[in-house]
Amino acid sequence: MAAVDVQRVNGTSHVGDWPDRYYHVDQVLDRPGPRTDPSFMAGDGVKDFLRNQCKILVIGAGGLGCEILADLALSGFKDIHVIDMDTIDISNLNRQFLFRPKDVGKPKATVAAEYVMKRVPGTKVTPYYGKIQDKDDDYYMQFNLVICGLDSVEARRWINATLVNLVDPENPESLKPLIDGGTEGFKGQARVILPTVTSCYECSLDMLNKPTAFPICTIANTPRLPEHCIEWASVLEWPRVQGDKKMDTDDPEHIQWLYNIASARAKEFKIEGVTWQLTQGVVKNIIPAIASTNAIIAASCCNEAFKIATSSAAYLNNYFMLIGTDGVYSYTFEHEKRSDCPVCGGESLEVSVPRSWTVERLIEMLVEKQDIQIKKPSLSTATAQIYFQAPKQLEEVTRPNLEKLVSDLVPDGGDITVTASSLPFSLSLRITYV
């Protein structure tokens, strides 16, 4: 940090910067406050980091994403990347304010990036139109921070597990704070996850509300609600009539077909309220989005990003929830790490074995090992089963592996996942050979 160009630090050499551009933000960065972290270095160093070095990834350019991008750019983050796999739909325009009617059909990430760069000079926003799963560890490694504004549990689980696995104890740079925002109607949450250090997303998976599902017999026999008719069309009639054809909830023709079937069903049972929009809402599990909830949650997320990037104030530890259904209620608490979390919990063990060891010998060693106390372990690598104790068929299929050398099945430094009923969840073995 020693030889920093003062000009650069003040930002004056940047395209689009003007005197006092950061006047208000600098109030926070120029001097420590009563609650700043002891490591906070007020002044040019922190400003240089925020404006010239910090690279932040935004996942999702939808309702939350648009707000997040604007907030980050305006608070002085200058190197922002954004990923989104969606294109703009006309129904997004009421709240996703970076998009205009002419943008309908274009990728959200690209349009959002261009808009922010146009409105906030000097900010570089790099879009990627695609899935987060397209990118590898090296890609995620380049960022200092990741902020998510997602609407899917699956995507959150994926990025959470990816960032947890990225952590290399030898390399502090590999720990990427993850800030996750989420909204559902008038309710929202923001959380700070320091992978492997604090509770991760998977730790709290069982806190999630399950999506509304109706008993299949009600759908089939005694529908009372328009939703029952729509589920009848999508769950029972689609597979019956369309066979193996996959339902695409983004295809208007598919929605139309479901709508027609559901309407006929509704008529038969004298149920009112089946509309095209409701049909789409039920099959896509759409929860009405409220622009102000998104704004609050995005602001909270970006506030955390700013505090973490600058250490100018204590960051959220680690869960903030907002309930706006009756007035405005919020509560902050620390969600604890789960020792049996399948992603960040569980034991990890480095074992060093002779190249001459068979799988059977390795299992013997695990069973004998006093400190782990495993009974009947089942072993696999990320891509193949090594030995399964049950079911019978899999035991028989994997039994020949018992005679094989571990070194023929697992590379040096490779991982083996061990499960056993005596383990809370699983044990990860890192194998090295002697």
The Cα-based distances of 39 to 195, 254, 310, 395 in angstroms read: 21, 57, 10, 55
The amino acid at residue 225 is L
Complex with another protein: residue 104 or 349, whichever CB lies closer: 349
Q: Which of 217, 238, 247, 233 is nearest to 276 (CA)?
A: 233
Q: How far apart are CA 28 and CA 12, in angstroms?
A: 19
Of 1 and 90, CB closest to another protein: 1
Q: Residues 275-304: x/- map of binding to another protein (CB under 8 A)?
A: ------------------------------
SS3 (DSSP) at 49: helix
On the 0-12 / 13-18 / 19+ scale of CB atoms within 10 A, 254 is buried
Cβ nearer to another protein, comparing 328 with 397 = 397
Q: Which two tokens stand for residue 227?
A: 């939703």
316 vs 300: CA distance, rounded Å? 9
- Closest approach of another protein to the CB of residue 295, in Å: 26
Based on the shown chain and the rule CB under 8 A, indicate whether residue 205 belongs to the binding site for another protein.
Answer: yes
Does position 36 bind another protein by CB under 8 A?
A: no
Q: Quick check: 243 binds another protein (CB under 8 A)?
A: no
Using CB under 8 A, pick the residue from 16, 33, 121, 215 that binds another protein: 215
Part in contact with another protein (CB under 8 A); list of ranges 108-116, 214-222, 256-264, 266-274 = 214-222
Cα angle vertex 368, ends 362, 372, to 5°? 95
Nearer to another protein, 77 or 115 (CB): 77
* 232 in contact with another protein (CB under 8 A): no
Count of other CB atoms within 10 angstroms of residue 420? 18
How many residues belong to the site for another protein (CB under 8 A)? 73
* Selected range binding another protein among 84-92, 95-103, 296-304, 389-397, rule: CB under 8 A: 389-397
77 counts as binding another protein under rule CB under 8 A: no
Q: How far apart are CA 233 and CA 213, in angstroms?
A: 14
Task: Provide the residue type at 431 as one letter.
Answer: I
Does residue number 325 form part of the binding site for another protein (CB under 8 A)?
no
**Is 391 among the residues that bind another protein (CB under 8 A)?**
yes
Nearer to another protein, 368 or 395 (CB): 395
* Residue from 202, 280, 304, 320 in contact with another protein (CB under 8 A): 202
Kindly name the residue from 200, 203, 217, 302 that is annotated as catalytic. Answer: 217
DSSP code per residue over 97-124: TT--GGGTTSBHHHHHHHHHHHHSTT-E
Per CB under 8 A, contacts with another protein among 118-137 are 137
392 makes contact with another protein (CB under 8 A) = yes
Cβ distance to another protein smaller for residue 275 or 311:
311
Stretch that binds another protein, among 98-106, 112-120, 320-328, 410-418 (CB under 8 A): 410-418
Distance of alpha carbon 148 from alpha carbon 298, whole angstroms: 9
Copy the structure tokens of residue 254: 């598919």
| Binders of another protein in range 80-99 (CB under 8 A) | none
Pairwise CA distance, residues 213 & 230, whole Å: 12
Task: Tell me how far apart the alpha carbons of residues 253 and 92 are, in angstroms, rounded to a whole number.
Answer: 20
Structure token pair of residue 237: 């009639």
Q: Does 49 bind another protein (CB under 8 A)?
A: yes
Rounded distance, CA 335 to CA 354, Å?
Answer: 42
Given candidates 2, 3, 15, 382, which one binds another protein under the rule CB under 8 A? 382
Is residue 217 part of the annotated active site? The answer reads yes
Q: Which H or E run contains 300? A: helix 291-310
Q: Which of 104, 225, 417, 433 binds another protein (CB under 8 A)?
A: 417
Q: Which residue has the tokens 């099959």?
A: 283
Return the number of the residue (205 or 351) whose C-beta is nearest another protein.
205
Rule CB under 8 A: which of 156-175 touch another protein? 157, 161, 165-166, 168, 170-175
Mind telling me the catalytic residues? 217
